[in-house]
Amino acid sequence: MAFRGAGWGWSPRCAAAGPTQLSPNPRLPPGLKNLELAAVGGSDVHVKMLAAPINPSDINMIQGNYGLLPQLPAVGGNEGVGQVVAVGSSVTGVKPGDWVIPANPGLGTWRTEAVFGEEELITVPSDIPLQCAATLGVNPCTAYRMLVDFERLQPGDSVIQNASNSGVGQAVIQIAAALGLRTINVLRDRPDLQKLTDRLKNLGADHIVTEEGLRKPEMKSFFKDVPQPRLALNCVGGKSSTELLRHLAPGGTMVTYGGMAKQPVIASASQLIFKDLKLRGFWLSQWKKDHSPDQFKELILTLCDLIRRGQLTAPACSEVPLQDYLRALEASTQPFVSSKQILTM
Ligand SMILES: NC(=O)c1ccc[n+]([C@@H]2O[C@H](COP(=O)([O-])OP(=O)(O)OC[C@H]3O[C@@H](n4cnc5c(N)ncnc54)[C@H](OP(=O)(O)O)[C@@H]3O)[C@@H](O)[C@H]2O)c1
């Protein structure tokens, strides 16, 4: 079968998006290439991609700044959902029509179709919204694990997080609400702050504070009414993370999972000595290495249950056809966008 899978290959470290580079199609934008689709072997699955987001980690991977880099040439995109078209004779876990997501990063989801090994895929129920399925495998999983794995929190306890409008942040708000936890959500100030505040409150956010507000003395009285959080989730680093630490309860934990400000996490000696705060990190890829595929599938099913109950929705999204990926890439690197770019195929 020839010339059916269009994929996005990155440059300058990657010239072609697949094993066989064919002559460039003048109608495709730069970076998109037609690749020959591999034959479906016994343990292979032919997948038609449906939708795939552009996440910061995809960009980091392209820049070569990520903890895991694929062999080049490679196709971009670590997350997304596809539909099974055909399966090889020894495939037992998926069947044509099923929806599948990547089992691990590095699959290359920014393409129209591909042939993958069965072990590279996880089935997801197709009764959840497409945008939920396309954004399920990374951010909600990260949010869930961070909320339950670091501190033993009880309903009524509070959690503080920065970059609360991020994909992970929106999942934290919703999953925390489902667990009965209160969220203190820090945002960068912006012209449409009220609109964003309303949207996050609709998702279940209890409190919204700007980065500037968090530094004000008024926060002392805020914590007279709201329990001091024992868990802080840090997506940003730099001053923002120092402020999260300032408001953590003694003995509490700050989990760093992102470094959007590209600034180091700075904790004062007194925070560590007198408050015994714990600084931890979380990386979903490591969690998956430390756990079995069945445990990952169980996590996915737990999140699907929340989706079905209306307790977890997809992040705010803008769908962009794969052909216009340059526009989507540009938008995904702008500040204050508050909308995840999702490539549709
Ligand atoms: N460790 C893990 O396992 C894991 C898993 C998933 C995600 N992540 C990481 O989590 C982070 C968020 O991912 P996502 O997909 O949720 O992102 P996203 O939906 O694209 O949102 C990006 C967020 O970063 C904020 N931001 C961007 N530049 C910033 C800066 N210079 N200073 C402060 N905030 C900034 C944005 O805020 P504005 O609206 O104010 O611009 C927005 O809240 C990324 O670093 C990603 O790699 C880690």
Is residue 180 situated within a structural domain? yes
- pLDDT score at 50: 98
pLDDT at 15 over 90: no
Is residue 297 situated within a structural domain? no
What's the pLDDT tens digit per position in 240-252? 999 999 999 999 9
What's the pLDDT tens digit per position in 24-47? 566 788 889 999 999 999 999 999
Is residue 233 situated within a structural domain? yes
Taking the centre of ligand 1 as the mean of its atom positions, its distance from the CA of residue 269, in whole angstroms, is: 27
Displacement of CA 233 from its chain's centroid (Å): 14
Q: Give catalytic status of residue 257 as yes or no.
A: no
Residues of 232-250 as b/e, b for ≥16 C-beta within 10 angstroms? bbbbbbbebbbbbbbbbbe
CA gap 251, 194 in Å, rounded: 34
| Residue to mutate (ligand 1; options 166, 188, 210, 299; most atoms within 8 A of CB) | 166
CA gap 114, 324 in Å, rounded: 20
Same domain as 211, residue 107: no
Same domain as 158, residue 130: no
Sequence-distant (6+) residues with CB within 8 A of 290 are: none
What's the pLDDT tens digit per position in 312-345? 999 999 999 999 999 999 999 999 998 999 999 9
CA gap 255, 257 in Å, rounded: 6
pLDDT at 228 over 80: yes
Taking CA atoms only, the protein residue closest to ligand 1 atom 2 is 283
| Full residue range of the structural domain in which residue 27 is found | 5-135+314-344
Same domain as 191, residue 73: no
Of 66, 144, 257, 325, the catalytic one is 66
Give the DSSP H/E element, type plus range, for residue 63.
helix 56-63
Q: Is the CB of 145 under 6 A from ligand 1?
A: no
Same domain as 212, residue 116: no
What's the pLDDT tens digit per position in 68-102? 999 999 999 999 999 999 999 999 999 999 999 99
pLDDT at 10 over 50: no
**Helix runs in 92-161, H state only:** 130-134, 139-149
CA gap 16, 22 in Å, rounded: 9
Taking the centre of ligand 1 as the mean of its atom positions, its distance from the CA of residue 161, in whole angstroms, is: 12
Residue 171: which pLDDT band, with cuts at 50, 70 and 90?
very high
The SS3 of residue 185 is strand
- pLDDT score at 24: 53
Q: Once rounded to an integer, what is the mean pLDDT over residues 174-184? A: 98
CA gap 50, 48 in Å, rounded: 6
DSSP state of 42: T
Is residue 306 situated within a structural domain? no
CATH classification at residue 340: 3.90.180.10
pLDDT at 11 over 90: no
Q: Is the CB of 260 under 6 A from ligand 1?
A: yes
| Residue to mutate (ligand 1; options 168, 185, 330; most atoms within 8 A of CB) | 168
